[in-house]
Amino acid sequence: GENVEQHPSTLSVQEGDSAVIKCTYSDSASNYFPWYKQELGKGPQLIIDIRSNVGEKKDQRIAVTLNKTAKHFSLHITETQPEDSAVYFCAAHAGGTSYGKLTFGQGTILTVHP
């Protein structure tokens, strides 16, 4: 089955700096890659996603890039703010017989210092 590796496990930045979180996946059939933000005591919230026919997608301060050949995708947050502090999860959707199943990475704890 699909395996998703996420790095780093913790990331500490100063307000205004950029943050980058990277994920690799194992199943070349995976075709959908969402990113979720989870704050303490809450469920994961979708912040951005990308499909396999697109190499890059941007939404204000957040961008995601996908390299299908290398089977990795990254989340980029620019001009970080303290409210960006949370746990971020990447995920991959394999499709086919595993349609509907998301496999999540282990998470990255992002801390933005004022």
Chain residues that interact with other proteins, rule: CB under 8 A: 4, 6, 31-32, 34, 36, 41-46, 49, 51-52, 89, 91, 93, 95, 98, 100-102, 104-107
Kindly list the strands in the beta sheet with 72-77, ordered across the sheet, starting from the edge strand earlier in the chain: 4-7, 19-25, 72-77, 62-67, 56-59
User: 2 φ, ψ to 5°?
Assistant: -70, 145
Measured from the CB atom, is 46 or 79 closer to other proteins?
46
In the complex, minimum distance from the CB of residue 50 to other proteins, in angstroms, rounded to a whole number: 10
In the complex, minimum distance from the CB of residue 99 to other proteins, in angstroms, rounded to a whole number: 8
In the complex, minimum distance from the CB of residue 89 to other proteins, in angstroms, rounded to a whole number: 5
Q: With CA atoms as reference, report the closest residue to 27 among 68, 86, 66.
A: 68
Q: Which two tokens stand for residue 68?
A: 């299908």
In the complex, minimum distance from the CB of residue 105 to other proteins, in angstroms, rounded to a whole number: 6
Q: Please tell me the distance from the alpha carbon of residue 87 to that of residue 37, in angstroms, as a whole number.
A: 6
